[in-house]
Every structure is written in structure tokens, then in C-alpha cells.
Amino acid sequence: MAEDKPAETYPIHALAQKRHMLLSDKCPDREKLKAEVLATVKEKAMLPYYEKYLCPSPLGPADEALKAEMKKSNEADLAKIEEKIKDAKENLGDMEVRDALIAKAEFFNRIGDKDAAIQAYQDAFEKTVGVGGKLDNILTVIRIAFFFDDHALAKKEIDRAKVELGKGGDWERRNKLKVYEGIYLMNSRSWKDAATLFLNVMPTFTALELVEFKDFVFYTVILTMVSLDRPTLREKLVSSPEVLGSIKETPHLQDFMESYFHCKYKSMMEHFVPIIDLVRADRYLSRHCRHFMRIMRLNAYRQFLASYRSVKLEAMATEFGVSAAFIDAELSSFISSGKLTCKIDKVGEIIESNESDNRSQVYVEIIKQGDLLLNRMQKLSGALDM
């Protein structure tokens, strides 16, 4: 007996990812991707999306015969839906009217007509009574916003969803909204907040209509490494069964994470290059690629220097598997911008580190508090003796 396939949801975010790859300069299997995109467009009759977002770039000049075929199909489908809406309004109740309006919204969503879909979902929202149905409506509009890279719309709808959640809502929709908000925060480069949300929802992730689980794990690992501390990295990623169960589906990701965590910097740098390629190829992260590269290297340098008061420039270069000149230029850049608190002795080729250690600061603070407590106890003892 064949397994039941999960219901298809729209918009198809894999299509937006393929379009992003086709628009990039470095696109492997470009012709294969074009064929896959065109096949999806034909199957779903995505005439508005085809005209506005795929032609002339990246698919080339529009096929007029294909456009005419899709237009005829869409007009026939829309006529049937309008007939259902009319019948529901004249002969049936509000629930049937709402279902017909949702069918119309899903039709526009399927063919990639952004504005018509948003308006249709708004019309259906006004006929929806329950909090769950309203949240499903809003979450779909957020997916449309992500599909068309409309960050302002995504923020507006996320705020609307939070208002509705204040009236109720089950845990699954709450968790879905955390994923949606995390994607928005990732796009906005609020990576610490995004990583915190992703880690929170990792054990109960269900938002497959927006992002595949392997990609969700990729985002979580990348954002946690650049924005959160080592204890969080150890507890939530390195020792997480959910992460370990899927991380191997993304090449180099586990090696990159573990080599960074275990301070194997040469191995980390070797896996850094293919990870950068993955970040650059991702439609959400590509615009942040240079920032990711810089912050990730800075974190590695800080982690390395925290163990030393001073270290030879050549020794650090060897540890990272790069030249001394490269390390010199990198550290000089971070020092001049105030990101690293260390000095480079060019004569002795030595790096003198002043990186603060939280454990040392806590130890010093405990000693100070202990001295104050002893002084007060001695004063109290003297007063009692008198």
C-alpha cells in the first residue's frame, strides 16, 4: 500500500530557492534547474509568476504559446471558483462562503499572483471565526511574504499573528510562528534572537511548509556558532540528538561545527570554504555572506587568543593553516576596529592578548567580596567583644 503524500502547500519555497540559484553567477547544473523550474510553472499554471519573476531573467524570453495555455487554464479554474462563491453566498452559510473564499486565495497563491492572493486571504480572514483558522490564514500570508522577499509584509503579519495568539492558539501554531519569526530575524541579521528561537523550537519542529528540517538545522548551527556562547553550543548543538540526526545531510556542517568547538582551527578553516559556498547559495543568507565570514573568523580568533597571554604570530598562523601575513592582516583589521583587544609586536612577531576571561573576572570579584565580608565580620566581632 502506497504511503499517503503530505498535502502540498503554497507557495513552493523550493521554487524560490531555485530561482535564486539561477540568478547567481555561480550556478551548477543551470540548464537542469531551468528545466525543473519550468516544469513546476507548467504543472501549477503559474502565469503571473512566470511573467513577472522568471522572464526574461532567469529563464529567457517568455513562451507565448505557454502563456496562452496557462491563461486559458487559469481563467477556467477561476470561473469555477467564482461560481462556488456565488452559490455559497446565495444558498449556503458563512462556513461554506469562507471555504470558497479560501479556495480562491489558494488558487492565486498556487499561480504566484502575490497581490491577488493577499487580498483573497484578507477576504477569507474576515469570514473566519476560530483563532486557529485565523492563524493559519496569517501564517500563509507570511509564507507568501518570504517567497517574494517582502520583509515589511512579513514583519506586519508576524505582529498580527502574535495578537491572535494572545487570544488563544495551540502549541503547534505557536511553534510554527517561532520558526517564521526566526526566519524574519535571520533575514534582518538579528542572529542571536533568531538562534534562540530556533534552538527553542528544535525538538518540536513542524514548519515543513516553510523550510526543510535539514535546512532548519543548517540555519540553527550557523546562527548559534556566530552569536551564542560555547556552553550553549555544547548543550544545544554538539550534544543534541535532533541536530546529530540530521546534520550529516548537509556536507561539511558537522565537521565545521565540531572542529570549531574542539578548537581544531586548521580543520575548521578547511571546512569553512564549502560552508561559505552553502551560505552564498542560500536565498536567505546570501546577502549576509561577507558578514558571516567576518564574524565567524573573529569568533575563532577570540576563542584561540583567550587561552594565551602571548603567542607567536607564526604559531597562530600554523594553528589555523594559513600564512603569518594573512593572520597579521586579519588581526590588524579587527584590532583597529575595536573587535579584538590585543597588540602585535612586529619586532618580535608576537601577539600579546588582552582578551577578557569571564571566569577570571568572576574569580577576582569573589575574592573582593570575600575580603569585604571578612572585614565586616572582624568589625562586628570587635564590637561584640566591647
Provide the CB-side half-sphere exposure for 156 (13 A, CA).
8
Outline where DSSP puts E strands in the chain: 310-312, 342-345, 350-353
CB 223 within 8 A of CB 322: no
Taking the C-alpha atoms of residue 143 and residue 209, their distance in angstroms, rounded to an integer, is 9
C-alpha cell at position 182: 526566526
Examine the pLDDT at 9 and tell me if it is beyond 70: yes
The model's confidence at residue 374, banded by pLDDT at 50, 70 and 90, is confident
Q: DSSP letter at 288?
A: G
Taking the C-alpha atoms of residue 241 and residue 263, their distance in angstroms, rounded to an integer, is 22
The arithmetic mean of pLDDT across residues 337-356, rounded, is: 87
Examine the pLDDT at 3 and tell me if it is beyond 50: no
Task: Return the biggest CA–CA distance within the chain.
Answer: 106
Taking the C-alpha atoms of residue 299 and residue 370, their distance in angstroms, rounded to an integer, is 34
The model's confidence at residue 334, banded by pLDDT at 50, 70 and 90, is very high
CB neighbours of 214 closer than 8 A, spacing ≥ 6?
A: 246, 249, 250
C-alpha cell at position 380: 562586628
Better-scored residue on pLDDT, 25 or 381: 25
Examine the pLDDT at 5 and tell me if it is beyond 80: no
Dump pLDDT digits (tens) for 136-179: 999 999 999 999 999 999 999 999 999 999 988 789 999 999 99
Q: Report CA-CA distances (Å) from 182 to 101, 191, 209, 335.
A: 30, 9, 15, 32
Mark 24-37 as b/e (b = at least 16 C-beta within 10 Å): eeebeeeeebbeeb
pLDDT given at position 367: 83
Q: How much is the pTM?
A: 0.89
Taking the C-alpha atoms of residue 194 and residue 186, their distance in angstroms, rounded to an integer, is 6
Mark 161-198 as b/e (b = at least 16 C-beta within 10 Å): beebbeeebeeebebbbbbbbbbbbbbeebbebbbbbb
pLDDT given at position 385: 67
